[in-house]
Amino acid sequence: MTQNDSTPQFIKLTDEQVRARKRRNIAIACGLLLFIATVYSITVSRMHANNEARKAAEAAENAAVGAVPSTAPAVEAPAVEVTPAERP
């Protein structure tokens, strides 16, 4: 085995090939950004539609029950820990 066999052989790209690679990379980046923007916009619009549907369903349920809708956010009761000695 000689010294030349162990060194890698690299291909020298022409200026035209380098420009073509750069254009291809830019096109891929633009496509990826377009895909991300599309997924984001669809997600936000669906979340908004689901939120509106939930509000409408809650309003209909409250109207059927006769309850007055509350503007205060729902608050959960704090969790209480029971030690084994306190259990019946």
CB 69, CB 58: distance < 8 Å: yes
Query: What is the pTM assigned to this prediction?
Result: 0.56
What is the model's pLDDT at position 1? 47
CB 69, CB 59: distance < 8 Å: yes
Q: Which residues contact 21 (CB under 8 A, 6 or more apart)?
A: 13
Which pair of tokens denotes residue 8?
A: 């890698």
How crowded is the C-beta side of 39, counted as CA atoms within 13 Å? 6
Please report where in the chains the tokens 């509000």 appear, as a residue: 55
Q: What is the per-residue pLDDT across 16-67, written as a single tens digit (0 to 9) for each? A: 999 999 999 999 999 999 999 999 999 999 999 999 999 999 999 888 887 6
